[in-house]
Amino acid sequence: MRKQFFIFGIIILFLSAIIAYYYKYSIFFPLTILAIIAIGFANSIQTKHAILRNFPVLGYFRYLFEMIAPELQQYFIERSTDGKPFSRNQRSLAYQRAKNIDSTTPFGTQLNLNQSSYEGIKHSIFPTVVNEELPRVLVGGQDCTQPYLASLLNISAMSFGSLSENAIVALNKGAQKGKFYHNTGEGGLTEFHLQGGDVTWQIGTGYFGCRDDRGGFDGGKFAEKANLPEVKMIEIKLSQGAKPGHGGVLPAAKNTEQIAKIRGVQPHTTILSPPSHSAFSDTKGLVEFIAQLRLLSNGKPIGFKLCIGETREFEMICQEMITQNCFPDFITVDGAEGGTGAAPLEFADGVGMPFEPALIFVNKTLARFEIRDKIRVICSGKIISGYSILRAVALGADMCNSARGFMFSLGCIQALRCNNNQCPTGVATQDKMLMKGLVVTDKSERVYHFHKNTLHAANELLAAAGKNNFAEVDINIFMRGDEFAHLSDLYFPDNLKSVRKH
């Protein structure tokens, strides 16, 4: 292809020069052809890119289409029920509820209801009255002196650094208006989180915001921030669903001088949080650390977040709680399908227990050790609708956290550019120009409306199932599309002759 490129390129250049000379046309076109030939020559002798070496100019189209492939896929190829991690229908639902506009759909479902993948609620022919008051849950165990009355739905952990300052401020202001909490993520408690909304301060392995000069935990710095009135709960991050066992990742492109100063690290470098904590190294140390944070925070609710991996380790934590008679006020269970701004593909696709079995396992284990009543269970993993909230509660959750649902309320379009600082909506970027597109006053209202309308939808589903409160919800209110199907029904339809009309 290189040979053909130079032959035809030189012929076109020669002809364009003759035409320009005899017909007094501008020499712009011949100069353009000459520039293209020069670029093609440079590409033909470089050794890094095989495509450009063999196709000196046409090869650029490959990179162009690769660059815009997510947009082509999203806008022109995928159907309403397609799209990963969230379908177009799910994203549209979040946008509509955030904008506080009609979120109904016409003409019936687009799902195949007769498959095992379909799940539905067994509605009652005697539904209850829809409760207009949004549900709340009290968090605080036997050693907690400052219990917190939390919303059933809250903002999951997203750090400043992963998200822009405008996004963080909008989330916190929305949380303030809706009276629900905003989890800081492991990036630390910053001024942008302190806009009046309730805060759950997450302490990760990097101890950002309570970090000493050697990168370890500093109890004095922790106590100073933990006792701020906006901080309602403290969460120890053991692992995260999207990259369990790896530690947080902040790409160098997003590590600005401002963020580096907040975190106490070098700017413009990729920040990899340690995979494990330095303040403790076993179950005994974890439980002692919980007690230490509760003491330093003057009795505020303390909990930990984890993605389940080796199940025996969680059982050992439960046993150690009993031994020390010290229990966390809450445990946040993250599924392996959880989101992140940046993760190695092997960890995102191949490490950790999915949300559903993890939540079931945690609840059964706590019940087996007879300590379930002492601890609130919070779930995190693709919570985006009233249905997903009800389903999580049925599996054993007391409360739900959502990250990507609230990102959609901010305007996220699932562009999949969270990790390269090029988020087009200004949500997951530190680029000042892109950040300006996110108007805090508008987006904070959308955060508020998304929360309110999603919980109202959960209340409507609760009423449709004939239940009066979420404490009555269990897995028995759900059914699958093939619940009444048997192998004989699927392959031997003559079985139907036994059905008689009387």
Side chain identity at residue 491, one-letter code: Y
From CA 339, how far away is CA 358, in angstroms rounded?
Answer: 16
pLDDT > 90 in the chain, percent: 49
From CA 298, how far away is CA 316, in angstroms rounded?
Answer: 27
Note the pLDDT of residue 6: 59
User: Per-residue pLDDT for 15 more than 60?
Assistant: yes
Q: What is the DSSP letter of 73?
A: I
Do β-strands 330-334 and 302-306 pair in parallel, antiparallel, or remain unpaired? parallel
User: Per-residue pLDDT for 496 more than 60?
Assistant: no
Band (491; pLDDT cuts 50, 70, 90)? low
pLDDT (tens digit per residue) in 186-243: 888 999 999 999 999 999 998 998 988 888 999 999 999 999 999 999 999 998 877 7
Dihedral pair phi/psi, residue 499, rounded to 5°: -80, 125
Band (424; pLDDT cuts 50, 70, 90)? confident
Distances in whole angstroms, Cα of residue 231 to Cα of each of 27, 161, 242, 312 = 68, 20, 26, 33
Average pLDDT over residues 175-188: 95
Asked whether the beta carbons of 16 and 30 are under 8 A apart, the reply is: yes
Q: Residue holding tokens 């379908």?
A: 87
Note the pLDDT of residue 325: 97
Q: Residue holding tokens 């997903």?
A: 388
Note the pLDDT of residue 147: 97
Distances in whole angstroms, Cα of residue 445 to Cα of each of 98, 171, 254, 391 = 8, 9, 26, 27
From CA 399, how far away is CA 333, in angstroms rounded?
Answer: 10
Structure tokens at 147: 């219990």
Distances in whole angstroms, Cα of residue 207 to Cα of each of 169, 172, 279, 464 = 22, 21, 10, 45
pLDDT (tens digit per residue) in 434-451: 988 899 999 999 999 999
Average pLDDT over residues 267-286: 88
Cβ-based neighbour number of residue 469 at 10 Å: 11
pLDDT (tens digit per residue) in 113-157: 777 777 888 999 999 999 999 999 999 999 999 999 999 999 999
Q: How many CA atoms lie within 13 A of 5 on its CB side?
A: 21
Q: Lowest-confidence range among 162-171, 177-186, 422-431?
A: 422-431
What is residue 305's three-state secondary structure?
strand
Structure tokens at 90: 């799910």
Shortest CA distance to 255 belongs to which of 344, 342, 155, 345?
A: 342
Structure tokens at 149: 């009355």
Shortest CA distance to 438 belongs to which of 428, 448, 452?
A: 428
Note the pLDDT of residue 16: 67
Average pLDDT over residues 71-93: 74
User: Per-residue pLDDT for 279 more than 90?
Assistant: yes
Which residues neighbour 328 within 8 Å (Cβ) at sequence distance 6 or greater?
Answer: 141, 290, 302, 303, 304, 321, 375
From CA 385, how far away is CA 319, in angstroms rounded?
Answer: 35
How many residues are present in the chain?
502
Note the pLDDT of residue 5: 60
What is residue 330's three-state secondary structure?
strand
Do β-strands 399-402 and 376-380 pair in parallel, antiparallel, or remain unpaired? parallel
Where are the domains positioned within the chain? Answer: 2-67, 136-480
pLDDT (tens digit per residue) in 39-77: 777 777 777 777 777 777 777 777 777 767 666 666 666
User: Per-residue pLDDT for 178 more than 80?
Assistant: yes
Distances in whole angstroms, Cα of residue 360 to Cα of each of 82, 189, 190, 321, 469 = 27, 32, 35, 20, 21
One DSSP character per residue, 118-185 reads -EEE---SSPPPPP-SPPEEEE--TT-SS-EEEESEEEPP--BTTB-HHHHHHHHHHHHHHT-EEE--
Note the pLDDT of residue 501: 47
From CA 353, how far away is CA 310, in angstroms rounded?
Answer: 9
The pTM of the full predicted model, rounded to 2 decimals, is 0.83
Band (390; pLDDT cuts 50, 70, 90)? very high
Query: What's the maximum distance between 2 C-alpha atoms anywhere in the chain?
Result: 97
Band (27; pLDDT cuts 50, 70, 90)? low
Tell me the average pLDDT of the chain: 85
- Higher-confidence residue: 154 or 486? 154
pLDDT (tens digit per residue) in 348-371: 777 778 889 999 999 999 999 999
**Strand extents, DSSP E, 260-370:** 271-272, 302-306, 330-334
Average pLDDT over residues 167-183: 97
Dihedral pair phi/psi, residue 250, rounded to 5°: -120, 110
Name which CATH class applies to 136-480. Answer: alpha beta
Q: Radius of gyration (Cα) for the chain, nearest Å?
A: 28
